[in-house]
Structure 1
Amino acid sequence: MGGLLANQEKTITAATTSENLEAFVSAQFKWFKYRSPKIDITSGLNVFPSVTNMGRVRLEYDLAAKYELIKDFFLNVQFYENYDSQPSKNADPLNDWGIITSVGFTF
């Protein structure tokens, strides 16, 4: 998937705003197994090269897995990564990532 998008960024500390035009490229992968044990794996990558701020690239990556431990009881694990090559002044670091785990039951 791809295209163009416009956004408006507002900083919290300086209360300034900026309007941006970015290209958009996206790819996703999904894999499912519906027989026991049920498995659901998804992965997605979004890349936003800036048109108005040359040299700036933002990236979002997500990987998630859901595994059926026993009938209708699942373990979920998710990894995410967000990157900005040129964050605004006084902004957080270039990378933000995390791992999320959970358990769930479907009925």
Structure 2
Amino acid sequence: MAILVQDDKASILLKHLNIATISPDDLKFVNRLDGMVTSGFSYTKASELGRFNFAANLKYQHNLNQIEMDYSILTEQKNDSIKQKQNGGMQYIRLLKRKWFVINRLFAESNSELGLKLRTNYVLGFGNTLIYTNHSLMYIAGGLNTNRETTSDIATYNLEGAISLKYSVFKYSSPKLSLDFKGIVYPSINNWGRIRTYVESSLSWEVLEDFYFKWSFITSLTIAL
């Protein structure tokens, strides 16, 4: 199967297997938006444990520019104890030649279990897309991260490196399937020996038509050597 791609100057016949993604180039702003909202709630009576999660994502793409906004929250309540994690922000990606790109990301996070009231981050880096096919995507990026951390009694400023890896596998034909993994390592520069890690993974599998099994896992860890 082949697809004919045509503009005002030329026409190119591409094989279906050589096309990774197709994005609309409509002049209307709203037609360039792509988003998703997920939410869930569970309660276990025996342990009196309640969980609530919410996540939203909105992406805009036009030519070589990509803008993405995301937000997620996870709340756990057991008896009178409440634990909450929040993460949200915005990133801008400028695509370059030979699968290189520049990434700017501004985001904030909080974690009551760790005593972290608020951490604001700004990341500037470069990356390269190592794999980009119609069923998988993998990129690696590196740069610098500046952040301000506020705990219960103190606020600190940090300069860190930022090394990230993202890998996705997807299938749009029925049964639809998508598996995403993202890992980030933040080695501290001004506080030598301190390393933060962030790992996020999710699975979406179409069990029946328009009925999905979804699984997600998020964890973060701070190591002081």
**TM-score where L is the length of structure 2:** 0.37
Matching of residue 78 in structure 1 with residue 209 in structure 2: no
Letter in 1 for 2:145: L
Q: Which amino acid aligns with 1:8?
A: R
Amino acid corresponding to residue 57 of structure 1 in structure 2:
I
Kindly name which structure, 1 or 2, has the bigger radius of gyration based on alpha carbons. Answer: 2
Amino acid at match of 1:3: G
1:52 equivalent among 179, 190, 210: 190
Root mean square deviation, CA, Å: 0.8
C-alpha distance in 1 between matches for 2:147 and 2:206: 39
Instruction: Give aligned pairs, total.
Output: 84
Report the Cα distance in structure 2 between the residues aligned to 1:65 and 1:11, rounded to whole angstroms.
33
Name the structure 2 match of 1:9.
149
More strand by share: 2
- What are the superposed Cα offsets for residues 61-94 of structure 1, whole Å, 9 maximum, x if unpaired? 11110000111111110111200014xxxxxxxx
Report sequence identity in percent. Answer: 32
The structure 1 residue matched to 2:173, chosen from 21, 24, 35, is 35
Select the structure with the greater relative contact order (CA < 8 A; seq sep ≥ 6): 1
For residues 157 and 217 of structure 2, the distance between their equivalents in structure 1, rounded to whole angstroms, comes to 30
Instruction: State the distance in 1 between where 2:159 and 2:188 align.
Output: 6
How many Å separate the matches in 1 of 2:211 and 2:150? 41
For structure 2, which runs of at least 5 residues remain unmatched after alignment? 1-140
Q: Deviation per CA, 1:29-66, whole angstroms, max 9, x where unpaired?
A: 00101111100000010000000100000000111100
- TM-score normalized by the length of structure 1: 0.76
1:64 aligned partner = 202
Cα shift readout 1:5-36 (whole Å, capped 9, x = no counterpart): 11000112x2x110000000000000101111
